[in-house]
Amino acid sequence: MHNTWKSAKVLPALALLVVMVSCGDGGARETPDTIEGVWNFSAYVTDGSWGDKLLGKIDFRKGGVFFETGYAPDGSIEETAGGDWSKEGSVVSIHYTWSQFDGKPREDYDGATYVGEVTGGSGVYLLYMTDGEWVIEISR
């Protein structure tokens, strides 16, 4: 009876392990069909002159509009911003058209455009974008 209990517990676990290993992506690259939804982001200045990273969430909405909320980890900055986005294949472009920092009035402008390629697989994706001065890393 003791062996039956072991078999009943061990065999399902081994079967699950085999399924998990055989379903791996085998190193294959995949990209999501859409980037719609909420992603995490971090942003920083490439020369380090700005200080800490800005962290937050970016929401890619259907129809090509995005909104983001961010903050500096030390609490020195809170921001809300938004603009337009597009995706062709694995290449994503975002263009900022407005921002609001530290509760000040919203400022509309024709801002920076960032272009990057979505990489990753197995449901974990990274989008690395830069305009040469700022770097934005977006992950899900």
Rounded to two decimals, the pTM is 0.69
Q: What is the pLDDT of residue 34?
A: 77
Q: How do the domains of the chain map onto residue ranges?
A: 37-139
Thinking of the domain 37-139, which architecture would CATH place it in?
Answer: Beta Barrel (2.40)
d(CA 102, CA 110): 20
DSSP label of 109: -
Q: What is the rounded CA–CA span in Å between residue 132 and residue 70? A: 20
| 49 phi, psi to nearest 5 deg | -75, -20
pLDDT, tens only, 34-92: 789 999 988 888 777 766 788 999 999 999 999 999 998 888 889 999 999 999 988 89
